[in-house]
Amino acid sequence: MALLYLEALAQIGAVFPLRYRVLLELGEKANDLEKASADAADMLRQEGSYRRQIISALVYPSILAVVSLLVLGVLVFILAPTLAPVFDAMGRTPPLMIRVLSALNETLTSNSAILILPIGCLLALAGFLTTKSGKVLKAIRNIVPMAKRYHRQRQTYQLCRTMAVLLKSGAPLLQTLEAVSASITDVEFANHIGRVKDEVSAGAELEEVLGRSDLIDPIARALLQVGHQANALPDVLKIVADDLGAKTNETTARAVKLVTPILTLLIGLGVGSVILSTLSAIMDLNDIAF
């Protein structure tokens, strides 16, 4: 029954990554599938926690952006067409914001097909970011040193944590490196781990190959060399993973706390300036009337 279970997992490889299949296969061979399943569940929980932090940071700004678009829709399609004729009837030039909103209203109502343009631009941008996200993120990392350091720590954390769990479960080193390479989403780092596996397979020592890699956190490189030489690599990997996990989680939490107010401020300033300009136009009408 366990064999059928593992075969089923292998058939849905994209959904259930290789590192989990290797872990469960080792647990099944050691007649300890329960512990292997618990380790896999713990890895999934930690990865899910990271994703939830990112998503939670974008929920409120996304809601605010939708509400802001609704408010702008009211200004463009209801308020501006109502106020502009009043100024014209009094022989006064409407304020700049009313003229802009009226022109936008006329453009959208006379040529509704123009709405396809921004939607197409958004879809094109989404497609570009999806296909070229690796290059975009790499360019950002090259510009922002803090982003580069965070990315290196995050990738090293995933490497150490996956290796610690698999090696502790009895996986051979080469199979562990293959599972790590297949599970990492960053193409450059995954290819690097693949090269590490090839060099180790050809007879090179793991600590030598990792020790000259700039993609791995320098402190982790030093500790991994010590752990391999002391024949305590799984234990050292776990220590390094716990330390880097705490650091990256703290950095992520700080970034989340900054992203939400910054996005809120930018959206609020943009929509608020339009609303204030519209209110100023209404006040002008009062001055004209009295």
Q: 234, 236, 227: which is closest to 205 by C-alpha?
A: 227
pLDDT of residue 2: 46
Residue 227 domain-assigned?
yes
Per the CB < 8 A criterion, the answer to whether 159 and 180 are in contact is yes
Residue 84 domain-assigned?
no
What letter does residue 171 receive in the DSSP assignment?
-
Question: pTM for the complete prediction?
Answer: 0.65
Q: Which domain holds residue 218?
A: 145-289
Q: Residue 58: is its pLDDT beyond 80?
A: no
Distance between CA 251 and CA 253 in Å, rounded?
A: 5
Q: What is the token pair recorded at 234?
A: 């799984």
Query: Mean pLDDT throughout 39-65?
Result: 74
Which range among 128-132, 188-192, 224-228 shows the weakest confidence by mean pLDDT? Answer: 128-132
Place 71 in a pLDDT band, splitting at 50, 70 and 90.
confident
Residue 97 domain-assigned?
no
Residue 50 domain-assigned?
no
Number of structural domains the chain divides into:
1
Residue 28 domain-assigned?
no
Per the CB < 8 A criterion, the answer to whether 188 and 151 are in contact is no
Distance between CA 78 and CA 271 in Å, rounded?
A: 16
Distance between CA 46 and CA 52 in Å, rounded?
A: 10
Residue 181 sits in a domain of what CATH number? 1.20.81.30
Q: Can you spell out the DSSP letters for 48-85?
A: HHHHHHHHHHHHHHHHHHHHHHHHHHHIIIIIHHHHHH
Residue 224 domain-assigned?
yes
Element (H, E) at 237: helix 233-289
Residue 181 domain-assigned?
yes
pLDDT in tens, 120-133: 666 665 555 555 54
What letter does residue 204 receive in the DSSP assignment?
-
Q: What is the token pair recorded at 29?
A: 């061979």
Give residue 78's identity as a one-letter amino acid code.
I
Residue 221 domain-assigned?
yes
